[in-house]
Amino acid sequence: MGSCSSKKTPDFNIEDEYRKLNLPMPDPTSFEGSFEKEAFYTANVFRANPKIMIPSIKEAKSKNFTTNFSNRQQALLQGEVVACSD
């Protein structure tokens, strides 16, 4: 009988990774919210060092993170054009 072991991935902090790459710090008042700030950091870390994001992307993919998304959100993630009625 085999044994199982749990391997926990260390927490990934996008702001820490941004600082480690010595990227220029943005003006904190230029963001309307935390999501916008995290999206900015994520895009720039990904541009500066794409390989650093691979473990996080693989983890998200393995958890099938889109299961709780609406049909519209899933279509957007797949690159489909979605008409908005908002």
Residue 5 has pLDDT above 50, yes or no: no
In a domain, 82, yes or no: no
- Structural domain for 27, as ranges: 14-77
Residue 51 has pLDDT above 60, yes or no: yes
In a domain, 85, yes or no: no
**55 or 31: whose pLDDT is higher?**
31
Nearest to 21 by CA among 55, 54, 48: 48
**14 or 56: whose pLDDT is higher?**
14
Domain total for the chain? 1
Q: What is the mean pLDDT of residues 62-80?
A: 62
The phi-psi region of residue 22 (left if phi > 0; otherwise alpha if psi is between -120 and 50; otherwise beta) is left
In a domain, 39, yes or no: yes
In a domain, 42, yes or no: yes
- The answer to which of 31-35, 59-63, 82-86 has the lowest mean pLDDT is 82-86
pTM: 0.56
